[in-house]
Amino acid sequence: MVPLALGADQIGQWVGQHLWPLFRIASFMMVIPFIGTQLVPMRVRLGLALLMTVLVVPLIGDVPRVDALSADAVVITLQQVLIGVGMGFALTALFQLFVVAGQMIAMQMGLGFASMNDPANGVTVPVLSQLYTVSITLLYLAMNGHLVAFEVFLESFRTLPIGLEGLGQAGVWQLAHRISWVFVSAMLLALPAVTAVLIVTISFGVMTRAAPQMNIFALGFPIALMFGLFAIWVLESNFAPHFQQYTEETFEFMRQLQGR
């Protein structure tokens, strides 16, 4: 038998073809909601990333042949991490949208002091935001949103092949402007409940002006809280359509990042 001679080029090609997709997939898995939270151990996320890499590598074409210790190799690695983190951030913004909306509503109706620890992110959030987080997580899994997210992400290996060119300056600016979309969408989602509580507050201001002896703090707080809970109950009927709309916009934005 003739021994198989492997040169430095073949070894570099084989390592790059497996290592660079792993960087992109692992970066995506560490950022996305549900899987990238503290509820899922780091070893599980790394194992899923390795499994996806093994399945994806046969579908990827040849990667650039560069020296492993060259500047081009470092740039390609950073580009893969940026693509994975950028697309994961776009998906995380979808969940943070409802957290911000819950904080806006809770602060207006007087529930801002009622906070609890979020085990997924390790921070303290209002109870209403945690309720929204649990609701959208269940809807996300029930609608197979995680499968669609992986499908859109894996398309990036075809639209954004491994190389020196990644998201580019335009993609980075799109990610930066995505923060404004989060606040605008959260305001639109919380606007009905905030408006209802504002009307109640204005009404109590007029009543206080007409009857100064009335204790506004003893009456206004429970009534504003009651109207706020009623507004939240009314908004729950349209919660799923809003989530579906924002989810479709998120997946469309992830495709726009890929230049599609």
Q: Which two tokens stand for residue 230?
A: 């009623």
When the pLDDT of each residue in the chain is averaged and rounded to a whole number, the result is 79
**How far is it, in rounded angstroms, from Cα 211 to Cα 193?**
27
Spatial distance between the Cα atoms of 239 and 224, rounded to a whole number of angstroms? 22
pLDDT at 47: 86
Cα–Cα nearest to 86, from 32, 49, 43: 32
Instruction: Assess if residue 3 is contained within a domain.
Output: no
Per the CB < 8 A criterion, the answer to whether 136 and 96 are in contact is no
For residues 182-207, average pLDDT: 83
Which pLDDT value is given to residue 260? 58
Asked if residue 91 is part of any domain, the answer here is yes
Residue 197 lies in a domain: yes
Answer yes or no: is pLDDT of 119 > 70: no
Structure tokens at 226: 């009651």
pLDDT tens-place string over residues 32-85: 887 777 777 788 888 888 888 888 888 777 676 766 666 777 788 888 888 888
Residue 22: inside a domain, yes or no? yes
What is the rounded distance in angstroms from the CA atom of residue 17 to the CA atom of residue 11?
10
Q: Taking Cα atoms as reference points, which of 97, 90, 103, 22 lies closest to residue 56?
A: 22
* Res 31 pLDDT > 80: yes
Cβ 123 vs Cβ 116: under 8 Å: no
160 within some domain: yes
Structure confidence at residue 217 (pLDDT): 65
pLDDT at 245 over 80: yes
Better-predicted residue by pLDDT, 128 or 11: 128
Residue in 48, 56, 17 with CA at minimum distance from that of residue 153: 56
Answer whether residue 196 is part of any domain. yes
Residues 112 and 194: beta-carbon distance below 8 Å: no
Q: Identity (one letter) of the amino acid at 68?
A: A
Judge whether residue 254 has pLDDT over 50. Answer: yes
Cα separation, 85 vs 91, whole angstroms: 10
Q: What is the pLDDT of residue 1?
A: 43
Is residue 87 pLDDT above 50, yes or no? yes
Domain assignment present for residue 105? The answer is yes
Number of structural domains (the chain) is 1
Query: What is the pLDDT at residue 198?
Result: 83
Nearest to 236 by CA among 142, 105, 121: 105
Q: What is the pLDDT of residue 112?
A: 65
Would 1 be classed as within a structural domain? no
Question: Which structural domain range is residue 48 located in?
Answer: 8-257
